[in-house]
């Protein structure tokens, strides 16, 4: 097996951030190493060799997409001796036979920590341990569903690797009102609990009424469109190809769509709301349609199920891995079926089906924030405006549940990564990404739709289940670049909340790598200018700054290449030469930029000096 991407020292599990890699250099090394050997036909084998996985490790395909330009997007689960490694995914973007982007981490040095032939406890015992740890004495009074125990390798914060069972389930009191979706990591050798958390993602032709005493009453078919229901023999059923709505009627277990005498449903007024069923059904369809209009995809690969009137006085809503469930509120909230909360819960499902961000730590904060963003996007889609306040329409007081423009206004949320710690509830640490989203949406040339599109694309293609704040920012910047939006605006929004892609890509000695991965045409006989915005740095650039680039061109000698600093100073990297008839370029240049300020817009200028051939700039980067 080829070993291309360098790993870390032995004797402990190591996790190398692939986004730090110089992609052009990795491609070149891989092609050189594979000369005469041939490249594997299967993408997962080719990519495993390219990043330098050891002989006992593999990449297992989770998803594979191809866009209209032919770019391939691969999401992999890394395995060791056939066992998945918890939270460790690898994302590869490839076009024209070259890897363009890498996200996730490469795990290595596991063989010393995981001896072969180790005796393990069984799944049944692991499940029993998990139930005792998460539910305790409550087990006897709870209904437990969707029990799963998967053997995985778990690596803790100290880089200690252990064989484990990751156990999850959904449980609730027999009468409802105490839903939980515990995830417990059990040591497969000893039966000890390594870590646990609650994975329940939650937020504390028909006509009829909707709304509540705060919003005022409105009528479907008059103030909003008609509710999309099935009609047969004078009976309307709340089901269409996208959404079905279920009346739990104070219980927990119904799954059939609600029916009523056509055309008007007005039979479920409760707790100051005029018809939570009507609202849930209409809003579910809005959310489904918003995903199609903004992203070109369905939020989930199956019909949305909106379950309403859950339990008694339940002041919450949740995604349980299969359905969206909404309580009727209580003294603090009206029934929990506002448009933004509906989008919020559906979007937890979207995240689970894409990046699968673990619902704890920074990844949990990103998971929660993305659902808040989707709520604002749904409001913007329906009304053309949004308030950046979470659940304001169902909060009985004058305020809201959370404030994306001022996260600290709720008294508990943070608005800067410098205030983050692992003990924070994910609903409060979500304020960091929520504030970044607000700032981006309010930036000139942006709006809520565009801001949501870049975060959603990052969730789909670039985030992994264990992404940190900084790593997540790299994904959003890449998504903005993909869509032709201004990447520097994304950088500045994140910088304002203490988050930096450059920090995620920092090399040794305090250097940082800034990249532009947008494929750009080099027109025959003309000049291409490609930009990288640098923000949040102090002082001057390095005397040994490095510029790396990858160019496809049938005759590289036709090209003259310069770096232009923010103040307009130009540094010649390569002159044109008729005598250089070689194809393509994957090169790096070391330049003394010590007289230049770091911050500002840096430009790579590629001039085709001769009218003969066209080409393309695949990517380029600055390191200083």
Secondary structure in 3-state letters for 490-519: HHHHHHCCCCCHHHHCCCHHHCCEEEECCC
For residue 490, what pLDDT is reported?
94
β-partners of residue 498 are: none
pTM here is: 0.76
Calpha distance 271→6 (Å, rounded)? 61
Assess whether the previous peptide bond of 263 is cis (omega < 30° from 0): yes
The yes-or-no answer on residue 583 being catalytic is no
Q: Is 276 helix (H, G, I), strand (E, B) or coil?
A: helix
For residue 508, what pLDDT is reported?
39
CB-count burial class (<10 Å; 0-12, 13-18, 19+) for 521: exposed
**Is 347 found in the same domain as 214?**
yes
Under 8 Å between Cβ of 458 and 397: no
For residue 35, what pLDDT is reported?
63
For residue 32, what pLDDT is reported?
67
For residue 554, what pLDDT is reported?
86
Q: Which domain holds residue 255?
A: 203-353
**Is 391 found in the same domain as 275?**
no
CB-count burial class (<10 Å; 0-12, 13-18, 19+) for 102: buried
Helix (H) or strand (E) run with residue 263 in it: none
For residue 8, what pLDDT is reported?
42
Angle 469-482/431-441 helices, nearest 10 degrees? 20
**Is 274 found in the same domain as 227?**
yes
At which residue do the structure tokens 């710690």 appear?
A: 421
Does residue 578 lie in a domain region? Answer: yes
Under 8 Å between Cβ of 258 and 239: no
Quote the DSSP letter at residue 447: -
Q: Tell me the helices (H) and strands (E) count for the chain, helix number first.
A: 12, 30
Nearest to 303 by CA among 244, 224, 218, 216: 244
**Is 497 found in the same domain as 418?**
yes
What the block records as the tokens of 548 is 């790396």
**Is 559 found in the same domain as 462?**
no
In this structure, what is the dihedral angle of CA atoms 286, 292, 295, 301, given to the nearest 10 degrees? 100
Q: Where residue 275 sits, what CATH number does that domain have?
A: 3.10.170.10
**Is 84 found in the same domain as 178?**
no
For residue 203, what pLDDT is reported?
61
**Is 369 found in the same domain as 348?**
no
Does residue 118 lie in a domain region? Answer: no
Does residue 83 lie in a domain region? Answer: yes
The yes-or-no answer on residue 19 being catalytic is no
Q: Where residue 414 sits, what CATH number does that domain have?
A: 1.10.390.10
**Is 279 found in the same domain as 316?**
yes
Calpha distance 614→433 (Å, rounded)? 41
Does residue 9 lie in a domain region? Answer: no
Nearest to 576 by CA among 618, 546, 612: 612
For residue 33, what pLDDT is reported?
63
What CA–CA distances, in Å, run from 77 to 45, 154, 229, 516?
Answer: 13, 13, 40, 26
What the block records as the tokens of 270 is 């409760």
For residue 39, what pLDDT is reported?
64
Q: Is 239 helix (H, G, I), strand (E, B) or coil?
A: strand
Of 334, 353, 372, at which residue does a domain stop?
A: 353
CB-count burial class (<10 Å; 0-12, 13-18, 19+) for 241: exposed
**Is 480 found in the same domain as 443?**
yes
Say how many CA atoms lie within 13 Å of 400 toward its Cβ.
21
**10-residue mean pLDDT series, the chain (624 residues):** 43 83 78 64 87 93 91 95 96 88 93 84 93 90 92 92 95 86 94 91 72 91 89 90 95 90 91 95 96 96 96 92 94 94 96 95 96 97 96 92 95 92 92 97 97 98 95 94 91 92 58 78 90 84 84 88 94 89 80 89 92 84 84
Q: 427, 553, 558, 596: which is the annotated catalytic residue? A: 427
**Is 328 found in the same domain as 283?**
yes
**Is 215 found in the same domain as 172?**
no
Q: Is 188 helix (H, G, I), strand (E, B) or coil?
A: coil
**Is 315 found in the same domain as 411?**
no
> Count of domains in the chain?
5
- Based on C-alpha coordinates, what's the Rg of the chain? 26
For residue 3, what pLDDT is reported?
42
b/e burial code for range 411-436 (CB count within 10 A of at least 16 → b): eebbbbbebbeeebebbbbbbbbbbb
What the block records as the tokens of 397 is 């007081």
At which residue do the structure tokens 């309307």 appear?
A: 236
Angle at 16 between CA 11 and CA 20, to 5 degrees: 150
Q: 345, 368, 376, 379: which is the annotated catalytic residue? A: 345
């Amino acid at each position: 097996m080829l070993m291309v991407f360098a790993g870390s020292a032995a004797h402990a599990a190591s996790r190398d951030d692939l986004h730090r890699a110089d992609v052009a250099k990795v491609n070149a090394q891989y092609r050189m190493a594979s000369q005469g050997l041939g490249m594997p036909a299967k993408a997962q084998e080719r990519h495993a060799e390219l990043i330098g996985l050891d002989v006992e490790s593999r990449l297992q395909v989770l998803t594979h997409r191809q866009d209209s330009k032919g770019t391939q997007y691969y999401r992999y689960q890394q395995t060791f001796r056939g066992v998945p490694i918890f939270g460790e995914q690898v994302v590869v973007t490839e076009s024209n036979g070259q890897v363009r982007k890498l996200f996730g981490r490469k795990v290595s040095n596991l063989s010393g920590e995981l001896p072969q032939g180790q005796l393990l406890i069984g799944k049944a015992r692991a499940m029993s341990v998990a139930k005792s740890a998460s539910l305790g004495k409550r087990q006897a009074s709870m209904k437990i569903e969707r029990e799963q125990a998967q053997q995985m390798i778990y690596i803790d914060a100290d880089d200690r690797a252990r064989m484990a069972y990751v156990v999850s389930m959904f449980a609730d009191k027999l009468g409802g009102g105490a839903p939980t979706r515990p995830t417990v990591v059990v040591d497969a050798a000893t039966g000890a609990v390594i870590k646990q958390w609650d994975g329940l993602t939650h937020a504390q032709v028909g006509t009829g009424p909707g709304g509540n005493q705060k919003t005022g009453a409105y009528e479907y078919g008059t103030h909003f469109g008609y509710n999309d229901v099935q009609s047969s023999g004078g009976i309307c059923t709340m089901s269409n190809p996208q959404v079905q709505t279920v009346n739990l009627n104070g219980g927990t277990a119904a799954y059939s769509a609600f029916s009523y005498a056509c055309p008007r449903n007005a039979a479920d007024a409760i707790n100051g709301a005029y018809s939570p069923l009507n609202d849930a059904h209409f809003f579910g369809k809005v959310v489904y349609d918003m995903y199609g209009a903004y992203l070109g995809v369905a939020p989930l690969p199956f019909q949305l199920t909106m379950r309403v009137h859950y339990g008694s006085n339940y002041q919450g809503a949740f995604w349980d891995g299969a359905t969206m469930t909404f309580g009727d509120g209580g003294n603090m909230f009206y029934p929990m079926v506002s448009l933004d909360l509906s989008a919020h819960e559906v979007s937890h499902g979207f995240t689970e089906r894409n990046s699968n961000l673990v619902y704890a730590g920074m990844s949990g904060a990103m998971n929660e924030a993305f659902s808040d963003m989707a709520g604002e996007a749904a409001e913007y889609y329906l009304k053309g405006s949004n308030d950046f306040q979470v659940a304001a329409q169902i909060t009985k007081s004058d305020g809201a549940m959370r404030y994306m423009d001022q996260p600290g206004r709720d008294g508990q949320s943070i608005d800067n990564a410098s205030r983050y710690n692992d003990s924070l509830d994910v609903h409060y640490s979500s304020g960091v990404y929520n504030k970044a989203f607000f700032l981006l949406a309010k930036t000139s040339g942006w709006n809520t739709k565009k801001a949501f599109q870049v975060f959603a694309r990052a969730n789909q293609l670039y985030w992994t289940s264990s992404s940190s704040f900084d790593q997540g920012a790299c994904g959003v910047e890449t998504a903005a670049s993909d869509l032709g939006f201004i990447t520097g605006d994304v950088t500045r929004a994140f910088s304002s909340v203490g988050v930096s892609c450059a920090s995620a890509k920092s090399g040794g000695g305090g250097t940082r790598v800034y990249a532009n991965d947008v494929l750009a045409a080099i027109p025959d006989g003309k000049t291409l200018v490609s930009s990288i915005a640098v923000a949040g740095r102090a002082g001057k650039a390095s005397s040994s700054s490095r510029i790396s680039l990858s160019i496809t061109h049938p005759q590289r000698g036709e090209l003259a290449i310069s770096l232009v600093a923010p103040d307009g100073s130009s540094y010649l990297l390569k002159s044109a030469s008729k005598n250089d008839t070689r194809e393509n370029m994957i090169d790096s240049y070391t330049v003394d930029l010590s007289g230049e300020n770091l911050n500002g817009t840096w430009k790579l200028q590629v001039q085709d000096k001769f009218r003969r051939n066209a080409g393309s700039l695949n990517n380029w980067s600055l390191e200083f």
